[in-house]
């Protein structure tokens, strides 16, 4: 079972990397472009950026909970109260 959970942990890692790169590199460039454009639609861009950053927080929380659940499975605690709590969150 360790091999399968290791694969799933790696998959979680590779799912999180593009979103992290987007939050670190692409979104600040969008904000900078919005500041420089002085467009009447730049406020829409700010709203989109705020929503994207706001949605990244629950996304990473869910990835963390999935990682914790995989650790519980590795420790033969798949049906314990801890794993149920991780699934509820």
The tokens 């999180």 sit on which residue? Answer: 16
Residue 15 — pLDDT band, cuts 50, 70, 90?
very high
Distance between CA atoms of residues 44 and 42, nearest Å: 5
Q: What are the pLDDT digits (tens) for 19-48? A: 999 999 988 888 888 777 777 777 888 888
Q: Express each pLDDT in 46-59 by its tens digit.
A: 888 899 999 999 99
The pTM for the full model equals 0.78
């Amino acid at each position: 079972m360790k091999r399968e959970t290791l694969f799933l942990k790696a998959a979680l890692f590779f799912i999180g990397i593009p979103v992290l790169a987007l939050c670190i590199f692409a979104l600040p460039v969008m904000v900078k472009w919005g500041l420089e454009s002085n467009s009447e639609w730049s406020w829409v861009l700010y709203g989109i950026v705020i929503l994207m950053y706001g949605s990244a927080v629950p996304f990473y929380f869910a990835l963390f909970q999935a990682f914790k659940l995989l650790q519980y499975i590795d420790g033969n605690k798949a049906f314990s109260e801890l794993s149920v709590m991780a699934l509820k969150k």
